[in-house]
Chains A and B, each alone.
Chain A
Amino acid sequence: MTSLTEAYIDSLAPNAGAMKNGRDLVKKNSFPVLRITADGTLLFGECKGSGKEPYRCSVDFVQPDSPLSRCSCPSRQFPCKHTLGLMYAYALGKPFEQAEVPPDIAEKREKADKREEKKKEAETAEANGEAPVKRKVNKSALTKKMNAQLEGLSLLEKLVLQTVQAGLGGLNKKSVQLIEEQAKEMGNYYIPGVQAELKGLLLLLEEEGNREAVYSQAIEQLIRLHSLVKKGRSYLEQRLADPEMPMDTETTLEELLGHAWQLAELKEYGRIRQSSELLQLSFLSYTDQAKGEYVDAGWWVNLQDGTIHATRNLRPFRAAKAIKEEDTVHAVVQTEELFQYPGEVNARVRWEKGTFRDASGLDYKAAKAFATASFPDVVKQVKNVIKNPLADRNPVMLIAFHSLEKVGDSFVFKDVQGKPLPINTEMIETPAKVETILPLLQADDLQDQAALVMFRHDVESGRLTAQPMSIITDSRVIRLLY
């Protein structure tokens, strides 16, 4: 808490706007009252708002690694700009007056302590062999739900077959509108994932411009939908026949159908890894139009075994303001429990409690050591993944390259054996263009380093290319995205 830095406060802020607003409050001298307790665990004060009464805000550092913000303002952003401003004021060295803990906060602290105790009791009870209350599944409700899901899949199948039978060339505004209505209807069958895939097709069809490219993508999407119907149906029918059967945790099928995995479920299925260390290699925030959400995606290397994990922080458009926007993480994250979602490559992970430590040269070296040295091996691995129509079409891999060369206007990686891997610079849309950054690097950075790359198979040209996301050297990560 004494080492409260601006960068740390930035990391607490829900978005860039909140950081700026918080700082502006300090600049505008909006805190007539700034106080701190003698033990330094509580900052509190008053902040002028637009109303008559000032907002009373406080930040509690009783648990130093997870400060708790409280404010009397009605903002849904958390922490709000007032509590952020309070912390900035402290970090920027504004004078704080020493004072006692106000009674309302003291009361809240007490309650929190009690809650903590209860939780502990429950945990010890569990450790002593008392089985935790197992979640009960309402079987008849589940059956009903799965029947509805099957019905939804049939609806989709009919739609796909109709579209294929009539041909993409014959689609007009009216028929696209019809599909749109069906997509909406799909919302009634507990398969939001399927609905999103259908919307993905719609977005393609509504696209203006290069018809030929659209056709190729639309065909791929139709194949994907068709496979989803078939796989989804056989899976659901199996589970319907045997309700005791566990959920599929090997593939992303459940997620594709639209299941939102809860941490408790993942725990139940044993998808937890104890004490892991993760280093973020790349970060990107993008918009998923089909699902109607912003996605803050991170790609991480597990420093124990080199697995490339992905994190996805989803912010649906409707609630985007109230959800924290994730940011680039430079530190190594240490987690006691790493929850791992089902999936083949780049399985999604999450953690509830993580601590940070500064990344060092050792970590970069460790990450680099996990990179695959032979391009043919990586390519084989990638092809094995993408041949499945339901798989992630853009696997992300860590490769070791010997050199980065230029071919005409484009680039190519070479491995130690001189085997090429063509570089694609247009797969991921970012304002900072990869092709403009690569030539700026130092010669050392382009020689015998590792790169995190995303693959894509282009159906039209039949080529497999990779876009570099980051270059990992012995001393740093050069982030080409964020």
Chain B
Amino acid sequence: MSVNVLLDLQQEVRRLFVTGSALAEGDLRLSKLLPSLRKAGEAAPVFIRLADSAEALLTAPRTESASKLLELATLLSAILHTQGKTDVSGEQQPLEALGIGLSTDITYRRLHPLLEALTTKGSGRLEQLRQAYEGRSYLDLRALPALCRALDDVYAEIPDFLQQKLIPEFGTAAVPVLRSQLDLQGGKGDARRLQLLHSSLGEESLELVSEAGSSGSPELKVAAIGLLSGYDGQEPFLLEQSREKRKEVREAAYFALSQIASLPSQDRLFEAVKSKDGELVVDPIRKCKALDLHKRIIDHADIQLDRYLNNEGKDKSNALQQLHIDLRCLNGNGHALANEAFPLLGKLLATDEFITAESEAVQELAAELLLELNAEPADRFAIGLHSAYKGKFIGYSFRAAYRQLSKAELYDRYADAIKGRSASAKLLQAALQEVAHGQLADEDYDSAAAVPVDAWDPRWAKTLAAQDLIELVCMFTHKEEREVTTYLLSKLKDGSRVNDYRTQNVLLTLFRIGYKEAPELFMSLLENKSSRSFYYIDWRMKLLFSSMPKSYVPRLRAFTEVLTYAAVKNELLEIVEAMEALPDEPAGESGKGVWAWIKNKMY
């Protein structure tokens, strides 16, 4: 059959559809096709029908042109639909099957939301992935390419989740997909692919990782360098990379070198500390296990101190800057370096010429490091800074003293200094708070409000109360003491709001020391009209509730029933109900059981 004539005719018909059949009458290009249609008709009668139909269109008046065109088009379309070509040109080769034996059994309703989440943008996608992970509805062949592709997602938490949880579950099945998607010149997603390939292939991937390290894009280089640090024989390459133009690459190389910690690596890191990369190597050096490097840095710092003291102008400020970097490199390894670092830090803090306004940051750093050494001579020296430089280091002195002195000695030495509003008194208060808070952090909620009884001199509470340091008083009060209790009660007067955490702390303290009026105080504050609106309640409020004796339960219930916010109300009602359910206990013992129950619910 003369297919070409058909295609020509199709062109013309199409043209007439676009321009409008109104212009078809006597159309030249269409009429030119008539003879060849007729000729083809000698072999296949269907062409005669086409020719007749085309002629009818050519001769039809405007008003009938449309239906004639449609008739011609219908016939032509039917013929063309029987002429569809299925031949294939080009070289055909067998498809290399990657041979992943995963099933395709996850049903539409479970798989589709996952695929949607992986291939679209918008909110709620991470949640969808979490669900798929929980329901294990992602271990399907059809999800694998999309999962690996989504490593490129810009919303970083999605690739994070995929990289850490979902894709590793596929094991080596993911390797061919990751490998085929990997572009060594790509971005963050490709760095993730490289890491995943390395974690499932291990040493087998070394060649690929090396290639990425030497010729990949910066992101790939960084990832590759991180992976290479675990292998022998990569040091020359890493040393070379530590001189790369891009900062990120150098940083990664420094980290890798600090892990290797060989002599050449140490040399390179030491060199970097002194160069403009000083800032960049601080973290890698902190992580380095070879302390010889740190000792060299201490010596270097010593020289910088001399340079600072003996020079003026630019040289002086450069020396200070370098000193700052050097000292920061030591952070984290203080104790192990105590012997080497103490002379330097002692000299630094004992040199009057060094204690100036411009070097403040370095002083603080040095004092902090001094405490980090956690060694007796260093602590003794720190204690000695008590009143040096107008009490500038009294906080450090106190923290060292807490470690070295008995509690009575500690109190005797610092109780006076804490009084007043001078700068040094404030520093001391802050230090006391810091030490006390450090002790609270390990504790559970229930005893959270107080420091351990035997760790501190009992006189602190009274002293602190006299200074109106309410937060500290709450932490240091362990028993009823007239002055302290009076002070605490004074804080509850004049309309304190019961849902203020300060009020609650005071109440909790009163409960703790077994103050008899505490339940009544709390109850009356609750029943005070002004404190009706609770938007939320925290553990303090729950602890207060559960600290109440059982005899107050009816009043607590009455209070709770009229609360406005349903969520708060329900939560408190649950506590009240739990209290009601408890057996009658001797007064003072109540609360423990309920509190344990509440804690149980909170985690």
Residues of A within 8 A of B (CB): 10, 15-16, 19-20, 160-162, 164-170, 215-216, 218-220, 222-223, 226-227, 283-285, 325-328, 330, 375, 379, 383-384, 386-389, 403-408, 411-412, 420-422, 430-433, 436-443, 445-446, 457-459, 462-465, 476-480, 482
**Which B residues are CB-close (under 8 A) to A442?**
97, 99-101
* Contact partners of B142 in chain A: CB under 8 A: 432, 437, 479-480
A246 to B264, CA, bound (A): 96
* Residues of B in contact with A, size category: 35 or more
Using CB atoms, name the residue of chain A closest to B89.
A407
Q: Can you spell out 15 A-B residue pairs with CB atoms less than 8 angstroms apart?
A: A10-B110, A161-B67, A166-B22, A167-B20, A170-B19, A379-B84, A387-B78, A403-B94, A406-B96, A420-B87, A431-B115, A432-B142, A438-B95, A440-B100, A442-B101
Partner of B145, one of A285, A440, A443: A440
| B68-76, B463-471, B504-512, B536-544 - interface stretch | B68-76
Contact across chains for B108 and A223 when beta carbons are under 8 A apart = no
In the bound complex, what is the Cα–Cα distance between A220 and B110 (angstroms)? 37
Chain A proximity of B71: nearest CB distance (Å):
8
Residues of B within 8 A of A440 (CB): 97-98, 100, 102, 141, 144-145, 176-177
Known: A219-B17, A223-B73. 11 other contacts (CB 8 A): A164-B70, A167-B23, A223-B70, A285-B112, A405-B93, A431-B120, A432-B115, A440-B100, A441-B98, A442-B97, A442-B99
Q: A220-B77, A223-B73, A464-B86 are in contact. Are A168 and B17 (CB under 8 A)?
A: yes
Given A432-B143, A482-B107, does the pair A462, B83 have CB atoms closer than 8 Å?
A: yes
Q: CA–CA, A157 to B84, complex, Å?
A: 29
A164 touches B17 (CB 8 A): yes
Given the known A-B contacts A160-B70, A431-B118, are A283 and B131 also in contact in the complex, defined by CB atoms under 8 Å? no
B7 touching A462, Cβ below 8 Å: yes
Taking CB atoms, residues of chain B closer than 8 Å to A431 are 112, 115-116, 118-120, 146
Cβ–Cβ contact B66 & A164, under 8 A: yes
Interface status of B421 (Cβ within 8 A of chain A):
no
Query: In the docked arrangement, what's the CA distance between A282 and B227, Å?
Result: 43
* A437 cross-chain contacts in B, Cβ below 8 A: 141-142, 145
Tell me whether A167 and B77 are in contact (CB under 8 A): no
- Whether B442 is near chain A, meaning CB under 8 Å from some CB there, is no
> Is the pair B103, A476 in contact by a Cβ cutoff of 8 Å?
yes
User: For residue A420, which residues in chain B have a CB less than 8 angstroms away from its CB?
Assistant: 86-88, 92
Contacts of A218 in B (CB 8 A): 17
- B21 close to chain A: CB less than 8 A: yes
The answer, yes or no, to whether B90 is at the interface (CB within 8 Å) is yes
| In the assembled complex, B455 has its CB within 8 A of some CB on chain A | no
Q: Pick the contact of A439 from B7, B95, B115 — CB < 8 Å?
A: B95
| The one of B85, B118, B119, B180 that contacts A463, using a Cβ cutoff of 8 Å | B85
Complex Cα–Cα for A341 and B499 (A): 70
Question: For the complex, is B111 an interface residue (Cβ under 8 Å from A)?
Answer: yes
Which residues of A have CB within 8 Å of B141?
437, 440-441, 478
Choose one: A16, A407, A439; the contact of B88 (CB below 8 Å). A407
Question: Using Cβ atoms and an 8 Å threshold, which residues of chain A touch B116?
Answer: 431
**In the complex, A250 Cα to B116 Cα: how many Å?**
39
Residues of chain A within 8 A of B82, CB atoms compared: 383-384, 387
Q: Most chain-A CB neighbours within 10 Å: which of B89, B109, B141, B143?
A: B109
B91 touches A (CB below 8 Å): yes
Residues of chain B lying within 8 A (CB to CB) of residue A384:
82
Q: Which residue of A lies closest to B73 (CB)?
A: A223
- Report the Cα distance A402→B105, complex, angstroms: 24
- Residue in contact with A432 in the complex, picked from B21, B66, B145, CB distance below 8 Å: B145
Interchain CA distance A227-B67 in the complex, whole Å: 11
Set B74, B108, B119, B143: member contacting A227, Cβ < 8 A = B74
Determine whether B81 belongs to the interface, using a CB cutoff of 8 Å to chain A.
yes
**B86 contacts which of A403, A422, A482 (Cβ < 8 Å)?**
A422
Q: Write out the residue numbers on chain A whose beta carbons fall within 8 Å of the beta carbon of B65.
A: 165
Least CB distance, A470 to chain B, in whole angstroms:
8
Contact A327–B107 (Cβ < 8 Å): yes
B66 CB, min distance to chain A CBs, angstroms:
4
Give 1 or 0 for each of B123-164: 1 = CB within 8 Å of chain A CB.
000000001000000000111111000000000000000000
For A408, the closest partner residue in chain B by CB is B90
A205 CB → nearest B CB, Å? 13
Q: How far, in Å, is A305 (CB) from chain B's closest CB? A: 26
B100 to chain A, nearest CB (A): 5
Q: Does B230 contact A (CB under 8 A)?
A: no
Which residue among B93, B99, B115, B142 has the maximum number of chain A CB atoms within 10 Å of its CB?
Answer: B142
Which of B21, B78, B93, B101 makes the CB contact (< 8 A) with A165? Answer: B21
Assess whether B69 is in contact with A164, with CB atoms less than 8 Å apart: yes
**Which B residues between 1 and 39 are near A, CB-CB below 8 angstroms?**
7, 13-14, 16-23
Bound together, the chains give a CA A431 to CA B120 distance in angstroms of 9
Taken together as a complex, chains A and B put the C-alpha atoms of A441 and B74 apart, in Å, by 42
With both chains docked as a complex, state the minimum distance between the C-beta of A328 and any C-beta of chain B, in angstroms: 4
Taking a contact as CB atoms under 8 Å apart, the answer to whether A433 and B97 are in contact is: no
Verify if B80 is at the interface (C-beta below 8 Å from A): yes
* Residues on B with beta carbons closer than 8 Å to the beta carbon of A160: 66, 70
**Is B533's CB within 8 Å of the partner chain A?**
no
Q: Pick the contact of B14 from A215, A421, A430, A432 — CB < 8 Å?
A: A215
Q: Quick check: B88 and A388 within 8 Å, CB to CB?
A: no
Contact of B84 among A220, A383, A438 (CB under 8 A): A383
Give the most central of B18, B89, B90, B100: most A CB within 10 Å: B18
B554 at the A interface (CB under 8 A): no
Residue pair B99, A15 in contact (C-beta under 8 Å)? no
Q: Which of B356-370 contact A (CB under 8 A)?
A: none
B contact residues around A167 at 8 Å (CB): 16-23
> Nearest A residue to B117 by beta-carbon distance?
A431
Answer yes or no: B113 CB below 8 A from chain A CBs.
yes
Query: Which 10 pairs of residues, A with B, have the shortest CB-CB distance?
Result: A167-B20, A464-B84, A482-B108, A431-B115, A328-B107, A436-B145, A161-B66, A164-B66, A432-B142, A169-B18
* Minimal Cβ-Cβ distance residue in B for A166: B20
Q: List the A side residues contacting B80 at CB < 8 Å.
A: 459, 462
A379 contacts B86, CB within 8 Å? yes
Interface flags for B177-202 (1: CB within 8 Å of A; 0: not) read 10010000000000000000000000
Nearest chain A CB to B249 CB, angstrom units: 32
Asked if B215 lies at the interface with its beta carbon under 8 angstroms from chain A, I say no
Given contacts A388-B78, A403-B94, contact A421 B145 (CB under 8 A): no
Nearest chain B CB to A388 CB, angstrom units: 7
CA distance A190 to B104 in the complex (A): 43
Q: A445 contacts which chain B residues (CB < 8 A)? A: 97
Interface membership of B246, Cβ < 8 A? no
B116 closest partner in A (C-beta): A431
- Cβ-based interface call for B347 (8 A): no
Decide if B413 is an interface residue (CB 8 Å cutoff): no
**Given the known A-B contacts A15-B109, A167-B17, are A421 and B94 also in contact in the complex, defined by CB atoms under 8 Å?**
no
| Nearest chain A residue, comparing its CB with the CB of B16 | A167
Q: Tell whether, in the assembled complex, residue B14 and residue A441 are in contact, meaning their CB atoms are under 8 Å apart.
A: no
A406–B21 Cα distance when bound, in Å, is 44
Inter-chain CA distance A216–B92, complex, in Å, is: 30
Known: A403-B94, A431-B116, A446-B95. A457 touches B84 (CB 8 A): yes
Q: Are B86 and A375 in contact (CB under 8 A)?
A: yes
Q: How far is the CB of A128 from chain B (nearest CB, A)?
A: 44
Complex: A246 Cα to B100 Cα, angstroms:
54
A433 and B145 contacting across the interface, CB-CB below 8 Å? yes
User: Does B295 sit within 8 A of A, measured CB to CB?
Assistant: no
Chain B residue numbers with a CB within 8 Å of A412 are: 88, 92
Task: Check A162–B86 contact: CB distance below 8 A.
Answer: no
* CB nearest to B104 among chain A residues: A479
Using Cβ atoms and an 8 Å threshold, which residues of chain B touch A389? 74, 77-78
What B residues does A20 contact at CB under 8 A?
131
Which B-chain residue is minimally distant from A215 (CB atoms)? B18
Kindly list chain B residues whose C-beta atoms are within 8 Å of the C-beta of A227: 74
Q: How far is the CA of A433 from the CA of B19 in the complex (A)?
A: 38
Question: Does B62 lie at the interface of the complex (its beta carbon under 8 Å from any beta carbon of A)?
Answer: yes
CA distance in complex: A433, B113 (Å): 15
Tell me the minimal C-beta distance from A286 to chain B in angstroms: 11
